Amino acid sequence: MKFLEKIVHKHEPKFAKGGKLEKWNPIFESFTTLVFTPAHTTKKGSHIRDGVDLKRTMMLVIVALIPCLLFGIYNTGHYELVAEMGDRSLPYLDQFWSKVGAGAFVVLPLLVVSYGVGLTVEFVFGVIKGHSLHEGFLVSGMLIPLVMPADVPLWMVAVATVFAVVIGKEIFGGTGMNIVNVALTARAFLFFAYPTSMSGDNVWMAGKEVDGFTGSTALGDLATFTSDKMMVAGSEVVEGTSQAAISAFENSYSMMDSFVGMIPGSVGETSVIACLAGAALLLFTGIGSMRIILSFVIGGFAGGLLMNAIGSNPYMDLPAAHHLLIGGFAFGCVFMATDPVTASQTAFGKIIYGFVGGLLAILIRVLNPAYPEGVMLAILFMNIMAPIIDHYVVQANVKRRLKRLKTA
């Protein structure tokens, strides 16, 4: 690597203060620090430092997302073929490589657009503010395509990414300063600005669909359970009882299929197994908070049980465990709720944050079918509530300390 080092040293003076390319130093620095850890040394205080830095942390999050990405590519390819043939009963592992190819053809452009647009915006802000690229977007750029429906137009992804990075993050001061999760901001932006491209029955499967075929998702179908005309995978549930509806639903989206991820949905969210693999890495390395993930799942399960107990329509009768396996619950729980910047920062706050987040996700899903994807809204809402939760946890600490003063 000596020759690369020589190149860096050769060009360094041009970008240094007073050099003729001084203005572009942030970009130069961003690229050199991708190849070399800079020669920064400690000045005082602690003379040695831990090996971990933000690049290492973010790299591991990206690694944790790879199972979801790979599964998402295959699943997208599968449902593209399903849509073209108009037949949901296509065996999942048939035509393996053509599905991989078809999926990659849809997902990789999403990835390229997300990273390309997002990093460009980040670099523009970096040059204006004079700092090198902060690593936050490396993860956001990966998350954005994974929470999009496969059929979303690329220009929308670009617009959403710009919105999320500028309004969601940079105006607050960049990585570490944002209030709401960047990737979810992108999704929420499209959800409200272009609802026809983000929800409904025709966006989840890429490619041309044959007439009369409905590419609905589990959540989309469940949303119809609160209406008079209950639909499952494009066909109406004739017998209008709750039992019939649930069993028709389980026929189309069995627990096992949902767990493995063989159901339609946003690109990377369908497979619980892939999310669990990511969760294992995040929890093991300590990057993801065990408190948040566990309490989020418990909160979701409690929400499901609560709905079962009320049980006034077929949607409410869906088994609580099944709720955790469909839609973006697992993905949101592992990769979105645990974002350390937007989550609660205190140990006890994390438990409340996770529990209420999980609970709300199910409540929004079931009680407000206009928003089938309750997880996104629940996490965004909790992002905004997190500072308040932290405030009360910090006040509890302050009070405990004051009490000590009085008893002393």
Partner 1 sequence: MSKSIKLKKGLDIRLMGEAVTVKTNLAMPKMVSVKPSDFHNLTPKMVVKEGEMVKAGTILFHDKYIESVKFASPISGTVKAIVRGEKRRILEVLVESDGQQSYVDAKSGVLSGMSSEQVKETMLAAGLWPYLNQRPIDVVADPKNAPKSIFISAFSSAPLAPDYNFALQGKGEEFQAGLDALAKLTQGKVYLTLNAKVASNEVFKNAKGVEINTISGKHPAGNVGTQIHHIDPINKGEFVWTVNAQDVAIIGRYFVTGKYDTARIIALTGSEIKDPHYFETISGANIAELLKDQITSDNVRVISGNVLTGDKISKDGYLGFYHNEVSVIPEGDQLKFVATKGWFGPGFDKFSNSRTFPTWILPKSKKFRLDTNTNGEERAFVVTGELERVFPFDILPMQLVKAAITDDIDSMENLGIYEVAPEDFALCEYVCTSKIDIQDKIRQGLDLIASECM
Residue ranges in contact with partner 1 by CB under 8 A? 1, 4-5, 8, 32-57, 59-60, 132, 134-136, 173-177, 284-287, 289, 340-341, 343, 345-347, 350, 394, 397-398, 400-402, 404-405, 408
The least CB distance from residue 285 to partner 1, in Å, is 5
Residue with tokens 């800079």: 38
Any bridge partners for residue 231, and if so which? 236
Q: Which of 221, 220, 168, 209 is nearest to 190 (CA)?
A: 168
Nearer to partner 1, 56 or 88 (CB): 56
Nearest Cα to Cα of residue 303 among 364, 369, 223: 364
Helix, strand, or coil here: 236? strand
Sign of CA dihedral 69, 71, 74, 76: negative
Q: What's the min distance (Å) between Cβ of 62 and partner 1?
A: 11
CA atoms within 13 A on the CB side of 163: 18
Q: What is the DSSP letter of 333?
A: I
| Closest CB 288 distance from partner 1, rounded Å | 10
Of 175 and 224, the one with the shorter C-beta distance to partner 1 is 175
Nearer CB in complex with partner 1: 22/53: 53
Min dist CB 168 to partner 1, Å, is: 15
What is the nearest approach in angstroms of partner 1 to the Cβ of residue 262? 32
Sign of CA dihedral 254, 256, 261, 262: negative
363: exposed, middle or buried (Cβ count in 10 Å: 0-12, 13-18, 19+): middle
For residues 301 and 359, what is the distance between their CA atoms, to the nearest angstrom? 7
**Residue with tokens 């997002």, as numbered in its chain:** 118
Q: Which is nearer to partner 1, 57 or 197 (CB)?
A: 57
Residue closer to partner 1, measured from CB, 20 or 404: 404
**Which residues lie across from 232 on neighbouring strands?**
235
Closest distance to partner 1 from the beta carbon of 404 (Å): 7
CB 106 within 8 A of CB 206: yes
Residue 347 Cβ, how far from partner 1 at the closest point, in Å?
A: 7
Q: Which is nearer to partner 1, 173 or 240 (CB)?
A: 173
CA nearest to 377, candidates 160, 196, 180, 197:
180
Q: How far is the CB of 348 from partner 1 (least distance, A)?
A: 11
Least distance in angstroms from the C-beta of 330 to partner 1: 22
* Burial group, residue 376, by CB count within 10 angstroms (0-12, 13-18, 19+): buried
Using the minimum distance from each CB to partner 1, give the nearer residue, 54 or 85.
54
How many angstroms separate the CA atoms of 140 and 184, rounded?
9
Comparison of 232 and 282: residue with beta carbon closer to partner 1: 282
CA 232 – CA 250 distance, rounded (Å)? 10
Among residues 175 and 217, whose Cβ is nearest to partner 1? 175
Cβ 118 vs Cβ 137: under 8 Å: yes
